[in-house]
Amino acid sequence: MEYRNKLVLAPMVRVGTLPLRLLAAEYGADITYGEEIIDHKMVKCERRVNENIGCTDFVEKGTETVVFRTCLQERNQVVFQVGTSDAVRALNAAQLVCKDVAAIDVNMGCPRSFSISGGMGAALLRKPELIADILTTLRRNLDIPVTCKIRLLKCPQDTVELARRIEKTGISAVAVHGRKVADRPRDPAKWNEIADIVAALSIPVIANGDVFEYGDFERIKVATGATSVMAARGALWNASIFSPVGKLDWEDVKRQYIRKSILWDNDVKSTKHTLREMIMHYSCLELPEGKDLIKSETLADIVRLYGEEKYYQFVNENRTMLNGGHREGKFMVAPEI
């Protein structure tokens, strides 16, 4: 995995599942992060080859709950992000999935109370020794790159010092969200503080924050000196943000996302959540589309809502052909319907 001069899909809870990752990659994302998976949950999983869909699933033992789904097509660009507060447990989780992903990332920036109360996410920013233990343990025991994603600390110099300690662990890159833990999404990202980190490190820094148009990739590069840029909400609202020819109409992107969700049998809760976020940005959940989406209980309900019955039927009738291509690492698509 090369981390310089890359456009990156950020890790997003309940959003960064296989359909959005593949969609972002088709539009131009070089690296795609999966949603954060907590190590406690991952170590309870077993790896299964899903012959029906042509993918690899990590399923919670004793259940049919898919915790993480990937496929051969994204093998060289997908990053598995783990939420952890323990080096050994992080390693156990990473070793389970490391042969099916391109890299492992440790979440050190999530400000949610669930993560912080468990000593994970942004809580790690106050524990540099634990950070070093986790990253060093992963790097020494894995054959794939290890990275982490952090937020800014209250004092810019403290962030720089932490980034320097992180670099000494030997990891391949660090992603920096240009906001502090207490900042809200509406607060502007502090690109100037990311620039301080870029200047202090020799490893690649992936700049993250306030990227909503393709042109923003170049603007944040110029402002920070980072050669790689990560997009979160901008990519969620319209994954074609990664396309150098400009964003496509969001209705078209939404349709392609729904088709990817059908093709890969995406979890209905994840599909609904992603569509809700798209609708709330471009429209309103109080309109008929939003209300009907909220009422949807199955993927089949969503198929009917968006008039994708023919595509749904085609996929189900041609699983053998489609899955054969999936297992060979090909992007198999249905003809225009």
Average confidence (pLDDT) over 224-239 = 97
Residue 194 pLDDT? 98
In a domain, 333, yes or no: no
Q: Is 12 flagged in the annotation as binding? A: yes
Residue 277 pLDDT? 95
Residues 257 and 160 in one domain: no
Q: What is the pTM of this model?
A: 0.95
| C-alpha–C-alpha distance, residues 125 and 334, integer Å | 46
* pLDDT over 60 at 122, yes or no: yes
Q: Is 232 flagged in the annotation as binding? A: yes
Give residue 58's pLDDT band: very low, low, confident or very high (50, 70, 90). very high
Residues 309 and 224 in one domain: no
* pLDDT over 60 at 335, yes or no: no
Domains of the chain: total: 2
Q: What is the pLDDT of residues 139-156, one digit of tens each?
A: 999 999 999 999 999 999
Q: How far is CA 331 from the centre of its chain?
A: 20
Residue from 98, 110, 148, 155 carrying the catalytic annotation: 110
| C-alpha–C-alpha distance, residues 219 and 229, integer Å | 10
Average confidence (pLDDT) over 89-118 = 93
The yes-or-no answer on residue 55 being catalytic is no
In a domain, 221, yes or no: yes
* pLDDT over 70 at 220, yes or no: yes
Average confidence (pLDDT) over 284-290 = 89
Q: Is 255 flagged in the annotation as binding? A: no
Q: Is 291 flagged in the annotation as binding? A: no
Q: Is 13 flagged in the annotation as binding? A: yes
Residues 21 and 89 in one domain: yes
Residues 74 and 176 in one domain: yes
Residues 238 and 284 in one domain: no
Q: What percent of the chain has pLDDT over 70?
A: 96
